[in-house]
Amino acid sequence: MKSLSKRTEDIAPSMTVAIDTLAKQLKAEGKDIVSLGAGEPDLPTPDAIKQAGIAAITENKTRYVAPVGLQNVREAVCKKLKDENGLNYNASQIVLTSGAKHAVFNSFAALINPGDEVIIPAPYWVTYPELVRWFGGVPVFVKTTVENGFKMTVQDLKDAITPKTKVVVFNNPCNPSGAVYEPGEMEALAKVIVENDLYCVSDEIYEHFTYGTKFVSAASFPGMYERTIIINGFSKSHCMTGWRIGYNAAPEAIAKMISKVQSQAIHHPSTPAQYAALAAVENGNECVLKMRDLFKTRQDLLKGMLEESLGKKLRAPEGAFYLFIPVNELYGKHTPEGKAITGSIDLCTYLLESVGLAIVPGAAFGMDDCIRFSYAASDDTLKEAARRFDKGIKELK
């Protein structure tokens, strides 16, 4: 038989999805697994949103709609962008997508030509480099450090720019690090982007999950609106991960490109889910703000327990709902069976196999020194996860 697509063969599957799927499968097989692997709020979709989805189905709002999605949902998104982010968009600049991940896909589809360099601060969300490669682009990683709060500096950015640079990716607040750029930091980086005539893909899906630092959209800074594609959605803010609704907000010409891609690839995201998303935007942010406060208490709880296990202070992330912690002092140790722990993948595999704890190796995010815990889980789950982590690492020799 002839070979399959080389381009597709060459990209890696999502490690976060793989770990979550494996944890769920092991649980289904009756294994005792505690998972802090998924990036998913543990709370149910709020009732009003569920009811809107159900009503759409019973009222037969189940037909094809325009590739860009329903006009009233896009108008509601524009109102959200105006009210919350101070940004003026027309509905024609909004494309509803099958989740924010699909909005990332659309963004790169619209921007990347083979050989274009795309700057991605590391640690990064797993999907960016693989999709950049899939479109023939070249990911250029800017390594950040725990010492600088996992944030790219102006100098880092300048050093990474070459004549081939086309796009800078921001994920603010960041998955996995939880870093949130201060408005002044973002403004300085934006200036470099504008001066070098680059595009910006700004994934703002965790915008509401900030614990003190003010979130400002990348599109707000001078010269940025016309070169930024915003990625956002309802999966995290409204506990709608399985509904699969996100969106791109972009300059008109880019939105048209995205609409063209979407019309050929998926036509549009599920119609009833779009009605549910309308209820989410119209219902406002009360649910996400409550969840944010709850998540901060969970962050403190998990951080305290992990600090005790590791015997060191950990950084308190300013946003998202992950603890991304350096554990390289454990590398070089051995499991009770004598297997060497050489990095984050070994450590996470060991923890899953020995104590049934599913967490994500930093290697998945381009930073092998660290591991990622999601704290979007109940206090009891967090306590049990921390107990298992403690047991697992204490048994290393």
Q: At its nearest, how many Å lie between ligand PLP and the CB of residue 100? A: 4
**Cα 380 → chain centroid:** 25
Strands 199-203 and 246-249: unpaired
Q: Which is nearer to ligand PLP, 175 or 259 (CB)?
A: 175
Q: At its nearest, how many Å lie between ligand PLP and the CB of residue 241? A: 5
Rule CB under 6 A: which residues touch ligand PLP? 39, 99-101, 125, 171, 175, 203, 205, 233, 235, 241, 246
Beta partners for 230? 202, 249
Q: Which is nearer to ligand PLP, 203 or 346 (CB)?
A: 203
Q: Which residues of 70-107 are buried (b: 16+ CB within 10 A; e: fewer)?
A: beebbbbbbebbeeebebebebebbbbbbbbbbbbbbb
Q: Which is nearer to ligand PLP, 295 or 350 (CB)?
A: 295
Residue with tokens 């950990």: 314
Q: At its nearest, how many Å lie between ligand PLP and the CB of residue 163? A: 29
> Based on the number of CB atoms within 10 Å of its own CB, is 310 exposed (0-12), middle (13-18) or buried (19 or more)?
middle
Instruction: Say how many Å lie between the first and final Cα of the chain, rounded.
Output: 49
Nearest position to ligand PLP, beta carbon = 99
- What would the two tokens of residue 51 be? 């009811």
Which of the 8 DSSP states describes residue 279?
A: H
Comparing CA positions, the residue from 10, 347, 376 lying closest to residue 176 is: 376
Q: Which is nearer to ligand PLP, 335 or 374 (CB)?
A: 374
Comparing CA positions, the residue from 356, 371, 394, 294 lying closest to residue 35 is: 356
Q: At its nearest, how many Å lie between ligand PLP and the CB of residue 176? A: 8
Q: Which is nearer to ligand PLP, 205 or 358 (CB)?
A: 205
Q: At its nearest, how many Å lie between ligand PLP and the CB of residue 128? A: 8
Is the distance from CB of 217 to CB of 200 less than 8 angstroms? no
Q: At its nearest, how many Å lie between ligand PLP and the CB of residue 104? A: 6
Sheet holding 360-361, edge to edge: 322-326, 370-374, 360-361
Q: At its nearest, how many Å lie between ligand PLP and the CB of residue 357? A: 20
Which of the 8 DSSP states describes residue 164?
A: T
Q: Which residues contact 150 (CB under 8 A, 6 or more apart)?
A: 121, 123, 144, 174, 177, 178, 179, 324
Q: At its nearest, how many Å lie between ligand PLP and the CB of residue 20? A: 10
Q: Which is nearer to ligand PLP, 287 or 341 (CB)?
A: 287
Q: At its nearest, how many Å lie between ligand PLP and the CB of residue 280? A: 12
Percent helix, strand, coil in the chain, to 5, is 45, 15, 40
Q: Which is nearer to ligand PLP, 101 or 292 (CB)?
A: 101
Q: Which residues of 276-287 are buried (b: 16+ CB within 10 A; e: fewer)?
A: bbbbbbeeebeb
Q: Which is nearer to ligand PLP, 101 or 166 (CB)?
A: 101
Q: Which is nearer to ligand PLP, 105 or 350 (CB)?
A: 105
Q: Which residues contact 68 (CB under 8 A, 6 or more apart)?
A: 74, 92, 94, 95, 96, 255, 259, 262, 268
